[in-house]
Amino acid sequence: MSDDSMATETATTAPLPPTLWEAASAVLLTKGQAVAEAVSDQLDTDGRPNNNFDAVMGADLLYSNITINSFMIGIHARLLRDTPAFAFNPDPTFGASCLTKTVAETTGAIYAATT
């Protein structure tokens, strides 16, 4: 194989580097993505199923007044670590209000309270 054909082969098979926009958009989360991932990840961490959006946080997933607040603290920490970081600062009454909500409703409430 000649040097010319090797150079052509290498040039055509080497992947192109991503543009700055492609690289940035691959790691930057929207608020909705960040909240959905944080809820799913925290449910998983807590040993609860993260694939049933109709499950009620208290009755079905067995969160209590104490454990729902731990769940919310986990969401808070996860959202702060995201890129970009999002602010979610629930008080104890916020967690308690989610005990009768489904996972989907709780996710929506967290989304609304996140900046």
98-111 per-position pLDDT tens digit: 999 999 999 999 99
State the CATH number of the domain containing residue 100: 1.10.1200
81 located within any domain: yes
pLDDT of residue 21: 52
45 located within any domain: yes
Look at residues 92, 63, 61 and name the one whose alpha carbon lies nearest to residue 76.
92
pLDDT of residue 17: 58
For residue 38, the enclosing domain spans 29-113
101 located within any domain: yes
Q: Which amino acid is at 103?
A: V
- Choose between 88 and 28: higher pLDDT: 88
Which residues have a Cβ under 8 Å from the Cβ of 3 and sit 6 or more positions away? none
9 located within any domain: no
pLDDT of residue 10: 47
Look at residues 71, 72, 79 and name the one whose alpha carbon lies nearest to residue 114.
79
The pTM of the full predicted model, rounded to 2 decimals, is: 0.76
CB 71 within 8 A of CB 63: yes
103 located within any domain: yes
35-81 per-position pLDDT tens digit: 999 999 999 999 999 999 999 999 999 999 999 999 999 999 999 99
Residue 88 CA, chain-centre distance (Å), reads: 13
7 located within any domain: no
Provide the number of structural domains found in the chain.
1
